[in-house]
Amino acid sequence: MAVTSRADAQWSDGLASGSGSVALASGAGEFSMTWKARSEGVDGATTPEELLAAAHSSCFSMALTHELEGNGTPPAWVKTSAQVSFVPGTGVTASVLTVAAKVPGIADEDFQRIAAAAKDGCPVSQALAGVEITLSGATLMD
């Protein structure tokens, strides 16, 4: 069964002169956006790339949990950051994942292997086939 999720965006006036917003159809949030924030980086304003980072970090956390369960070493917790880069005129260039996890009873080499597999297998990684995806660090925590 396919599950379909929706969001609704609007933009008024020009790209540089105007502004827009996007709402999650679930009601979980609505965000305003400007081109200046996206193209120059402005603290406190969201961007399409921040939303991609949210999708990627959450999907990877689920995928890693699933892979660790399959290994017989379920995690107590997983924490993932994603950093997505945008170059105006070029596009979305990279998503860099960094993960820390508490996984009782696993050897670090197994954790590294499983984290790399989760990076490749994560559905959002596969969707983002046009972007260079790297796992910059995977750290086991006590």
> CB-wise, 82 or 114, nearer to its own copies?
82
Name the amino acid, one letter, at 35: W
Assess 114 for contact with its own copies (CB under 8 A). no
Assess 71 for contact with its own copies (CB under 8 A). no
Assess 50 for contact with its own copies (CB under 8 A). yes
Backbone angles phi, psi at 92, to 5 degrees: -85, 115
Assess 1 for contact with its own copies (CB under 8 A). yes
Assess 61 for contact with its own copies (CB under 8 A). yes
From candidates 72, 76, 104, 105, binder to its own copies by CB under 8 A: 76
Assess 115 for contact with its own copies (CB under 8 A). no
Backbone angles phi, psi at 20, to 5 degrees: -150, -175
DSSP 36-53: HHHHH--TT---HHHHHH
CB contact at 8 A, 57 and 95? no
What residues from 117 to 136 belong to the interface with its own copies (CB under 8 A)? 123-124, 126-131
Query: Which residues contact residue 21 at a Cβ distance below 8 angstroms, ignoring those fewer than 6 apart?
Result: 9, 10, 30, 31, 32, 33
What residues from 16 to 35 belong to the interface with its own copies (CB under 8 A)? 18, 20, 22-29, 31, 33, 35
